[in-house]
Structure 1
């Protein structure tokens, strides 16, 4: 007799049922992606993420004196985003994008596909520049 057939099937079935009910991933953390304008004591107005207005994390586990309060979920991410944008107002209201500069990409693709060498490329660019200069002179 082998080991599996000698074991009662009920405990195996119960173990499989318990394992099937286990959660295998965490739910995404939800936080506010919004920003609020806050006036400081010196009169300056700054944007502050709404997620940072929430209270700091509490010691729910009971770590005790080793517990260090952390930022609320999403606060650090929103602060970093606020530092990365060109204009801080972009996080509140975005801007429309400009036209794409397709000429350099097209030129690079043509050189790659057609296999032009550097001298041929320089000659073509000089011709294009000369044509542009003559058009602007008119």
Structure 2
């Protein structure tokens, strides 16, 4: 049996207690600012992209490229993905749900994929038998 001096155990516990196990929460504005371009069109710009970027520890490197402010890249990506850009400033009313496809998907999930695969194979077999009988 190995003997650990109490001081070594205390040192080990202290070292492990100092480890950070999670990141601090980051909050940023989900808002967009409307600006009018030179051509008269209204463009949306994420508010976070108007803020200066956070200081970076690699500023002295030759290939240094300043990073975006936190939340800016996420907001820019969202801006590119939406169907209508005004949805980012004011949402639309939702329409009726599509219950039939959701119900079918839920039934396949409940019954399992194997049952759906079995139905597909049976339909293929019926089609091939019908084709052979027709010849």
TM bin (shorter chain):
0.5 to 0.7
Q: Please provide the CA RMSD for this pair.
A: 2.9
Secondary structure, counterpart of 1:65 in structure 2? coil
Q: Which residue of 1 aligns with 2:80?
A: 83
Q: Which residue of 2 aligns with 1:132?
A: none
Give 2:67's match in structure 1, choosing from 70, 73, 86: 70
Distance in structure 1 (CA, Å) of the matches to 2:58 and 2:24: 19
Distance in structure 1 (CA, Å) of the matches to 2:9 and 2:100: 66
Please list every run of at least 4 consecutive aligned residues from structure 1 whose deviation after the TM superposition is greater than 2 angstroms: 56-67, 101-110, 115-118
1:1-12 matched pairs, under 5 angstroms: 2-3=1-2, 5=3, 7-12=4-9
TM-score, normalising length: structure 2: 0.67
Is the radius of gyration larger for structure 1 or structure 2?
1
TM-score, normalising length: structure 1: 0.66
Secondary structure, counterpart of 1:36 in structure 2? strand
Q: Which residue of 2 aligns with 1:42?
A: 39
Give 1:56's match in structure 2, choosing from 53, 57, 62: 53
The 1:30/1:63 distance shift into structure 2, 3 A limit, reads farther
The answer for unaligned runs of 5 or more in structure 2 is 124-135
Distance in structure 2 (CA, Å) of the matches to 1:106 and 1:9: 63
Q: Which residue of 2 aligns with 1:21?
A: 18
